[in-house]
Amino acid sequence: MSPLKSILVIGATGAQGMAVVRSLSRSRRYAVRAMTRSDSSADAKLISSWPNVSLFIGDCFNEADLRKAFSGVHGAFVNTNGYVTGEKGEIYWGIRMYEIAVRAGVKHWVWGSLDYSTKLGGWHERFKCGHYDGKGKVADWVLAQPRSPMASSVLTSGPYMELLFEFMLPRPPKAPGEPYVFVAPLGSGAVPLIHLEDLGEYGLYLFDNPSTNGLDLKVATQHVHWAELASTFTKVTGKPAEYLDVSLEEYMDKYYPAGKKAVTRKIGTDRKDPTLLTWGQNFSGFWNLFKESGGNKGLVRRDYEMLDRIHPGRVKSVGEWMKKVGYEGQPRPVLKDWVDGGIAKGERVEARL
Ligand SMILES: NC(=O)c1ccc[n+]([C@@H]2O[C@H](COP(=O)([O-])OP(=O)(O)OC[C@H]3O[C@@H](n4cnc5c(N)ncnc54)[C@H](OP(=O)(O)O)[C@@H]3O)[C@@H](O)[C@H]2O)c1
């Protein structure tokens, strides 16, 4: 029998899951069971080439597949895809997966989460963001099960720093000498971006430390203000850049990265479900949350001193990240299911590794 503890990763071929799989694999302390619907995608092939990683073919929104997937593993890292389910589906499946994992005898469950936006915003509707609220509600529920036989930790992250290659890509110069333009409806707020490789290391930390049972580890690389993002970009690349602060209406009308048509499309597969938000509604809540998170003093906060203690080698700033990854404002695919106009574009490989 292998001396390695086995960990099921749900969402293993995604930007986030892949980072966690890689950290677990590199540690040589874990055998990873990576759940995916297809072993023929480039991402599945890549992760299965890493040491101690095997694929488990199944659909994470199918109970029979889940029972098999959880069977015999020590731990589970669960990042459901809220863009597939919508908020209601994510709450149902997050809790249902937990129940199935307990019955399967899983010892340590780690829920890949996001900040509960509506709650942080004092329950005001303008902060409603389905893919944040769904995960945040499941996190609250998970942490409210102290008598569970299964240890549970939450890993609350935020927008990936790598989204600067995709969703948060600056607009290129209109003519030589003109600036790159970082557009956001952010005012003087800040986005707590997280470098994916470090996110993977925090996942590893949680499995290495079962005493994190009951902990909600909230991670980020830095609260990034967009004016500072533009000036850092210039400092690192030598290219001129500016921040264009726009209203939410302007952003959705002129600058929404997946195109104007996507703004009114619903997030989730069952388009008739009346609880589903449109991409425009969802990302209005998202930007409103971060608009009020400037200086690490607003709605979304992180304890960076604690993160330094847990992971002293972490990337500490967006400038450091730009140098590390050779960032020049160039596009690169990041999300496996990046949605352009409501249609998944397809897969990307290694872009955020
Ligand atoms: N974008 C961000 O900055 C960010 C930050 C933090 C959290 N999140 C959250 O992360 C989630 C998305 O994960 P990601 O960022 O890693 O996206 P991604 O790169 O687009 O990956 C999507 C993942 O979902 C899996 N998946 C989709 N439908 C599935 C199904 N029916 N059964 C099994 N697996 C399924 C895909 O697996 P296969 O295709 O291989 O089956 C793939 O691993 C969302 O809930 C989002 O809210 C996103």
**pLDDT tens per residue, range 21-46:** 999 999 999 999 999 999 999 999 99
What is the C-alpha R_g of the chain? 20
pLDDT of residue 345: 46
- What is the distance in A from the centroid of ligand 1 to the CA of 337? 7
Report CA torsion sign: 229, 230, 235, 236.
positive
SS3 of the chain: the string is CCCCEEEEEECCCCHHHHHHHHHHHHHCCEEEEEEECCCCCHHHHHHHCCCCEEEEECCCCCHHHHHHHHCCCCEEEECCCHHHHHHHHHHHHHHHHHHHHHHHCCCEEEEEECCCHHHHCCCCHHHCCHHHHHHHHHHHHHHCCCCCCCEEEEEECCCEHHHHHCCCCCECCCCCCCCEEEEECCCCCCEEEECHHHHHHHHHHHHHCHHHCCCEEECCCEEECHHHHHHHHHHHHCCCEEEEECCHHHHHHHHCCCCHHHHCCECCCCCCCCCCCEHHHHHHHHHHHHHCCHHHCCCCCCCHHHHHHHCCCCCCCHHHHHHHHCCCCCCCCCCCCCEECCEECCCCCCCCC
Q: Could you tell me which residues come within 8 angstroms of residue 296 by beta carbon, excluding any fewer than 6 positions away?
A: 190, 192, 223, 302, 304
Lowest mean pLDDT among 126-130, 170-174, 208-212, 329-333: 329-333
Look up residue 30 and give its amino acid: Y
Atom of ligand 1 nearest to the CA of 163: 3
Say whether pLDDT at 340 is over 60.
Answer: no
- What is the distance in A from the centroid of ligand 1 to the CA of 158? 14
Name the band, by pLDDT with cuts 50, 70 and 90, for residue 1. low
d(CA 37, CA 40): 9
Tell me the percentage of the chain whose pLDDT exceeds 90. Answer: 88
Say whether pLDDT at 346 is over 60.
Answer: no
pLDDT of residue 341: 39
Q: Region 56-83: what's the mean pLDDT?
A: 97
Question: Does residue 345 or residue 170 have the better pLDDT?
Answer: 170
Question: Does residue 223 or residue 272 have the better pLDDT?
Answer: 223
d(CA 29, CA 52): 9
75-78/53-57 β-pairing: unpaired
Question: Does residue 230 or residue 340 have the better pLDDT?
Answer: 230
Q: Judge if the beta carbon of residue 283 lies within 6 A of ligand 1.
A: no
d(CA 294, CA 306): 19
Q: Judge if the beta carbon of residue 117 lies within 6 A of ligand 1.
A: no
**Residue at token pair 């589970």:** 76
- What is the distance in A from the centroid of ligand 1 to the CA of 15? 7
d(CA 77, CA 32): 10
Look up residue 256 and give its amino acid: Y
Q: Judge if the beta carbon of residue 59 lies within 6 A of ligand 1.
A: yes
Say whether pLDDT at 269 is over 90.
Answer: no
Tens-place pLDDT, residues 252-263: 999 999 888 889
Say whether pLDDT at 352 is over 60.
Answer: no
Max CA separation in the chain (angstroms): 63
Write down all domains in the chain, each with its CATH number in brackets. 5-344 (3.40.50.720)
**Residue at token pair 């209406």:** 249
Give the mean pLDDT of the chain: 94
Say whether pLDDT at 347 is over 70.
Answer: no
Say whether pLDDT at 342 is over 80.
Answer: no
Tens-place pLDDT, residues 142-183: 999 989 999 999 999 999 999 999 999 999 999 999 999 999
CA atoms within 13 A of residue 202's CA, in its CB half-sphere: 30
Q: How many angstroms separate the first and last alpha carbons of the chain? A: 31
Q: Whose CA is nearest to atom 42 of ligand 1?
A: 14
- Please give the torsion angle defined by the CA atoms of residues 82, 154, 157 and 322, in that order, rounded to the nearest 10 degrees: -130
Q: Judge if the beta carbon of residue 134 lies within 6 A of ligand 1.
A: no
